[in-house]
Amino acid sequence: MHSSVTPSTATSSTSAAPPPPGGQHADVLVIGGGIIGLVTAWRAAGRGLRTAVVDPAPGGGAAHIAAGMLAAVTELHYGEQTLLGLNLASARRYPDFTAELEEASGRRIGYRRCGTLAVALDADDRALLRELHALQLRSGLDSEWLTGRECRRLEPMLAPGVRGGLRVDGDHQVDPRRLAGALLIACERAGVVFHRASAERLTVARGRASGAELADGTRLSAGQVVLAAGSRSGQLAGVPDAVLPPVRPVKGQVLRLRMPAPPAGGAAFLSRTVRAVVRGGPLYLVPRENGELVLGATSEELGWDTTVTAGGVYELLRDAHELLPGITELPLAETCAGLRPTSPDNAPLLGPTALPGLQLATGHFRNGVLLTPVTGDVMAEALTTGELPAAARPFSPTRFSAVPAPVPQRARVLEESV
């Protein structure tokens, strides 16, 4: 199904095959219009590149399901310290990114500096949380240990059995649906062209990616192609095996409830994100200013299945009830399930591949919403210079392939960190 890859020393868009006569040509063609594809397109257009996006329903994808935690500190895992650097870089960008995107789109994206409380319900949970706290402190992160009583003082709806917790005031939230909507508008205003169809195959001409063929037969040509199709990034026909991203779907079921309006002068049902590990399963509750309470998430290796199951909903509500007994009184507004695009090391694949003209922006797993700002900046840099900024180099797709990435024609040393 896939052709072979010939590594080349050229990645600049100027070395692309000439566009077919009468065809539609872009400097950058982004395959996938989720938040990662959209932020890449927006930032590329901001660098003066003629940019197009292929997606039957841009603005959808995993962000439509995601809770939107910006949880670089509370979602830290052993072995992910390199990823932590990228996560923190993106979290730091969020205030300016929000201001710029809201200005560009005229839409609010629900960025809320509410902080996060990670709590333990029993002795095992507490031991786990103590381990996480030690790792956070060793990593130089701000995180404060609280007793159960101190946790309940911050969030009075928590169960009396809460045994302790971590207060992390730097882990915030954004509303991913609003984020996607704003990115879509910002792209349109920046002149990004949308092809509302499925990409059927990557086209390769003279040893480099040259565009895409759409399901309706349209052929698009481009100087560079960015594959940002989330979990489906590893499925596109025409992508040579050697550069096909090793991305797989990990299912997450999520519920949306409605919180009551706080009484005049009284406390909100929940004022910050609350996380816990209950019976080994991670659980989180993300309260929005508009009264929405997002409850997630399952983590299931079930291939492409996106069924909302009775068992998934039951487990989420059962565990949430132990944590926050009042939750069963709330209206259940929505149940949904999505797929996290997951790579073998849980980190994204960013930038040039060994196939000249083809770049990746995929595999963001649990951190797609958090990594949106930094991904846009990194990809814009890679698309204009052919090279990843220094701090993003550990996330080069070539870490999963034996074939090295091509050396850019105009190699540039970037001292700045992302």
Q: Is the dihedral of CA 242, 244, 249, 250 positive or negative?
A: positive
Task: Name the minimum Å distance from CB 235 to ligand GLY.
Answer: 21
Task: Name the minimum Å distance from CB 168 to ligand GLY.
Answer: 14
Question: Which of 178, 364 has the CB closer to ligand GLY?
Answer: 364
Question: Dihedral angle at the C-alpha atoms of 165, 272, 174, 55, nearest 10 degrees?
Answer: 70
Question: Using an 8 Å Cβ cutoff, are 397 and 349 in contact?
Answer: yes
Question: Using an 8 Å Cβ cutoff, are 348 and 378 in contact?
Answer: no
Q: Is the dihedral of CA 32, 33, 34, 39 positive or negative?
A: positive
Which of the residues 153 through 212 are near ligand GLY (CB under 6 A)?
A: none
Task: Name the minimum Å distance from CB 316 to ligand GLY.
Answer: 11
Give CA separation, 44 vs 18, 219, 291, in Å: 20, 21, 35
Task: Cis check for the bond before 297: say yes or no (omega within 30 of 0).
Answer: yes
The correct pick among 167, 288, 340, 364 for binding ligand GLY (CB under 6 A) is 340
Task: Name the minimum Å distance from CB 340 to ligand GLY.
Answer: 6
Residue type, 353: T
Question: Using an 8 Å Cβ cutoff, are 250 and 339 in contact?
Answer: yes
Q: Is 69 in the site for ligand GLY (CB under 6 A)?
A: yes
Q: Is 252 in the site for ligand GLY (CB under 6 A)?
A: yes
CA atoms within 13 A on the CB side of 238: 19
CB atoms within 10 A of CB 329: 9
Question: Which of 69, 388 has the CB closer to ligand GLY?
Answer: 69
Task: Name the minimum Å distance from CB 193 to ligand GLY.
Answer: 31
Q: How many residues make contact with ligand GLY (CB under 6 A)?
A: 7
Q: Is 247 in the site for ligand GLY (CB under 6 A)?
A: no
- CA 350/CA 89 separation, integer angstroms: 15
Q: Is 297 in the site for ligand GLY (CB under 6 A)?
A: yes
Question: Which of 136, 353 has the CB closer to ligand GLY?
Answer: 136
Which of the residues 72 through 131 are near ligand GLY (CB under 6 A)?
A: 75
Question: Which of 349, 382 has the CB closer to ligand GLY?
Answer: 349
Question: Which of 29, 36 has the CB closer to ligand GLY?
Answer: 36
Task: Name the minimum Å distance from CB 65 to ligand GLY.
Answer: 9
Residue showing the smallest CB distance to ligand GLY in the complex = 366
Burial class (CB in 10 A: 0-12, 13-18, 19+), 8: middle
* Residues at the site binding ligand GLY, with contacts judged by CB under 6 A: 69, 75, 252, 296-297, 340, 366
